[in-house]
């Protein structure tokens, strides 16, 4: 099996020719030093895995021919991480590891206590590139979607079961509550480094969210998000 996978954001069809450019082309030629005639794997983030043959390598692109295709069924569940925007280094880590752990969507919103209230187009594109790299590395075939959402105060409703990290000593364990409810579609909401404000906590309760405990210790925002994803995917 080829040692590396490459990402092309397009529909893949058997016997079609596809073009590899940009960072993926750089990795193919300068890192892996692949040559014409070699076999590689291609993913498109929409459930398709293809084996392909490199036909020829040009100055800024490589042309490949699709040999075989495998289409994986779309996951039957939704695992949505709703994350108040944290510091960028923590966000990079959440995006990378969240992709590996199987989140299907990442909702980013400005928390009342977030140091950063918005992300630029280039920052969002960077996050998407992190999901692509993680997708290729971990072997999953569906790319998680990254969406910008308004502040919690403007959320009209929760379409599926909603949970959030609650520091109250009486909050139930997340794993216990999930085991009782048998949810297949879940949104887990995590605050920024300084946690949710009082108004945000009230809003989450109004939305029907369940406050839960992830651990006996207070967790950092990135640790909390990844701990929640681990518990969710273990239960599904």
Q: What is the pLDDT of residues 23-34, one digit of tens each?
A: 999 999 999 999
| Cβ pair 7, 135 in contact under 8 A | yes
Q: Is the CATH code 3.40.1280.10 the one for domain 78-235?
A: yes
Taking the domains of the chain in order of start, what are their residue ranges?
A: 5-71, 78-235
Residue 74 CB neighbour total at 10 angstroms:
11
Per-residue pLDDT reduced to its tens digit, 138-188: 999 999 999 999 999 999 988 899 999 998 889 999 988 887 877 889 999
Ramachandran class of 189: left when φ > 0, alpha when ψ lies in -120 to 50, beta otherwise: beta
- Specify the pTM: 0.92
Q: What is the pLDDT of residues 33-87, one digit of tens each?
A: 999 999 999 999 999 999 999 999 999 999 999 999 999 999 889 999 999 999 9
- Residue 83 bridge partners (DSSP): 108, 190
Could you give the residue ranges of the DSSP H alpha helices within the chain?
22-26, 88-101, 121-138, 174-181, 198-206, 221-235
> Which residue is associated with the tokens 């605050």?
191
Q: What does the pLDDT look like over 81-139, one tens digit per residue? A: 999 999 999 999 999 999 999 999 999 999 999 999 999 999 999 999 999 999 999 99
How many Cα atoms within 13 Å fall on the side-chain side of residue 218?
Answer: 8
- 161 by DSSP, 3-state: which? strand
d(CA 94, CA 115): 17
**Positive or negative, the Cα torsion across 219, 222, 223, 225?**
positive
- Torsion-angle region of 51 (φ positive above 0: left; ψ -120 to 50: alpha; else: beta): beta
Q: For the domain made up of 5-71, give the CATH fold.
A: Ribosomal Protein L25; Chain P (2.40.240)
Contact 166, 196 (CB under 8 A): no
Furthest CA-CA distance within the chain: 63
* Predicted pLDDT at 3: 62
C-alpha radius of gyration, the chain, whole number:
20
């Amino acid at each position: 099996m080829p040692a590396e996978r490459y990402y092309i954001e397009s529909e893949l069809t058997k016997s079609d020719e596809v073009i590899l450019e940009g960072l993926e082309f750089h990795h193919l030629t300068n890192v892996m030093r692949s040559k014409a005639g070699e076999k590689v794997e291609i993913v498109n983030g929409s459930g398709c895995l293809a084996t392909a043959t490199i036909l020829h390598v040009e100055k800024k692109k490589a042309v490949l021919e699709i040999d075989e295709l495998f289409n994986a069924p779309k996951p039957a569940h939704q695992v949505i991480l709703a994350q108040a925007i944290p510091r960028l280094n923590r966000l990079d880590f959440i995006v990378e590891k969240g992709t590996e752990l199987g989140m299907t969507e990442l909702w980013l919103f400005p928390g009342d206590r977030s140091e950063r209230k918005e992300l630029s187009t280039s920052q969002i594109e960077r996050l998407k590139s992190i999901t692509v790299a993680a997708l290729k590395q971990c072997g999953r075939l569906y790319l998680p979607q990254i969406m910008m959402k308004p502040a919690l105060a403007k959320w009209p409703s929760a379409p599926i079961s909603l949970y959030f990290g609650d520091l109250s000593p009486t909050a139930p364990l997340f794993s216990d509550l999930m085991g009782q409810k048998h949810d297949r579609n879940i949104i887990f909401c995590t605050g920024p480094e300084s946690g949710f404000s009082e108004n945000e906590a009230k809003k989450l309760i109004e939305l029907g969210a369940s406050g839960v405990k992830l651990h006996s210790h207070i967790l950092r925002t990135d640790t909390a998000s990844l701990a929640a994803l681990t518990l969710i995917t273990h239960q599904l």
